[in-house]
């Protein structure tokens, strides 16, 4: 049947000009002045206050004996409230990481960002926070790498996750001097550590 119109799905979208968009039926000219308040809740509020003091706080559930960070007031395994605040270390182990060469808007980065999930020492196994890694060559990154928090100066802390600027390797693989783009493998022995490697 050649006289049948093509299905709508093959026609594709019809882009509007800016002027056509503003003249469109239903269009209104209105400047939005939306304001909102956001509450971090009991557990994360205390966690952020802890960061301002330079400590990482967790919640412990006495029933399953887990130590949870970021803290939460309810244990999702035991279906009961958690019991007490505990201070955990500002060191940990890289659980997983990514090497990002582009920004969220697809712009290339001259220096890759290194987001990672870090299991915090003193929290239960497999529990930790997402943060950034720094002072490390991307080639040297490994699951199981022992890391430590690099804190913002006390007077600069605001009660934000960025009061920890980033985590860096604990051992002698700190990068000194100007940063260089990732990619080139340094010579020398492997700096990788096994999964769950000891500190
Ligand atoms: Zn529990």
| Ligand 1 centroid from CA 130, angstroms | 22
Calculate how far, in angstroms, residue 40's C-alpha sits from the geometric centre of ligand 1.
22
pLDDT on residue 171: 77
Residue 185 within any structural domain of the chain: yes
Whole-model pTM? 0.69
Q: What per-residue confidence (pLDDT) applies to 6?
A: 62
Q: What share of the chain is helix, strand, coil (3-state, %, to 5)?
A: 15, 30, 55
- What's the confidence (pLDDT) of residue 182? 42
| Overall number of domains in the chain | 1
d(CA 118, CA 96): 7
Distance from the alpha carbon of residue 100 to the mean position of ligand 1, in angstroms: 35
Can you say whether the dihedral through the CA atoms of 71, 74, 76, 80 is positive or negative? positive
Specify if 161 maps to a domain. Answer: yes
Residues around the ion ligand 1 (C-beta < 5 A) = 61, 63-64, 75, 77-78
* Ligand 1 centroid to residue 74 C-alpha, Å: 8
- Residue 67 domain flag: yes
Strands 84-88 and 91-97, by their bridges, are: unpaired
Within-domain flag for 142: yes
What pLDDT is stored for residue 43 in this prediction?
96
The answer to whether residue 175 is domain-embedded is yes
The answer to whether residue 104 sits within a structural domain is: yes
Domain boundaries, position 163: 41-195
Q: What's the 161 CA to ligand 1 centre distance in angstroms? A: 25
Per-position pLDDT tens, the chain of length 199: 556 766 656 666 777 788 888 888 888 888 888 898 889 999 999 999 999 999 999 999 999 999 999 999 999 999 999 999 999 999 999 999 999 999 888 889 999 999 999 999 999 999 999 999 999 999 999 999 999 999 999 999 999 999 999 999 997 545 554 444 444 444 333 333 333 333 3
* Cα 81 to ligand 1 centre (Å): 8
* Residue 66 alpha carbon to ligand 1 centre in Å: 6
| pLDDT of res. 172 | 56
Q: Report the separation in Å between the CA atom of 179 and the middle of ligand 1, taken as the mean of its atom positions.
A: 44
Output the pLDDT for position 132: 97
Task: Report yes or no on 21 lying in a domain.
Answer: no
Q: Taking the CB of residue 131, how many other CB atoms lie within 10 A of it?
A: 21
User: How big is the chain by its Cα radius of gyration, in Å?
Assistant: 24
The total of other beta-carbon atoms located within 10 Å of residue 71's CB is 24
* 1 lies in some domain: no
H helices of the chain, where?
18-23, 41-53
């Amino acid at each position: 049947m050649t006289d049948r119109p093509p299905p709508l799905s093959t026609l594709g979208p019809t882009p509007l000009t800016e002027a056509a968009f503003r003249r469109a039926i239903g269009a209104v000219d209105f400047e939005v002045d939306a304001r909102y308040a956001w509450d971090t809740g009991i557990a994360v509020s205390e966690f952020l206050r802890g960061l301002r003091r330079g400590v990482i706080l967790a919640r412990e559930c006495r029933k399953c004996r887990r130590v949870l960070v970021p803290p939460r007031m309810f244990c999702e395994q035991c279906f009961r409230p958690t019991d007490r605040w505990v201070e955990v270390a500002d060191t940990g182990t890289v659980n997983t990481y990514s090497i990002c060469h582009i920004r969220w808007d697809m712009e290339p980065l001259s220096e890759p960002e290194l987001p990672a999930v870090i299991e915090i020492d003193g929290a239960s196994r497999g529990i930790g926070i997402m943060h950034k890694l720094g002072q490390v060559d991307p080639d040297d990154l490994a699951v199981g790498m022992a890391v430590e928090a690099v804190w913002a100066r006390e007077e600069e802390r605001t009660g934000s996750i960025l009061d920890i600027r980033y985590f860096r390797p604990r051992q002698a693989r700190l990068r000194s001097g100007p940063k260089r783009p990732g990619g080139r493998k340094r010579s020398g022995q492997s700096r990788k550590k096994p999964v769950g490697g000891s500190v």
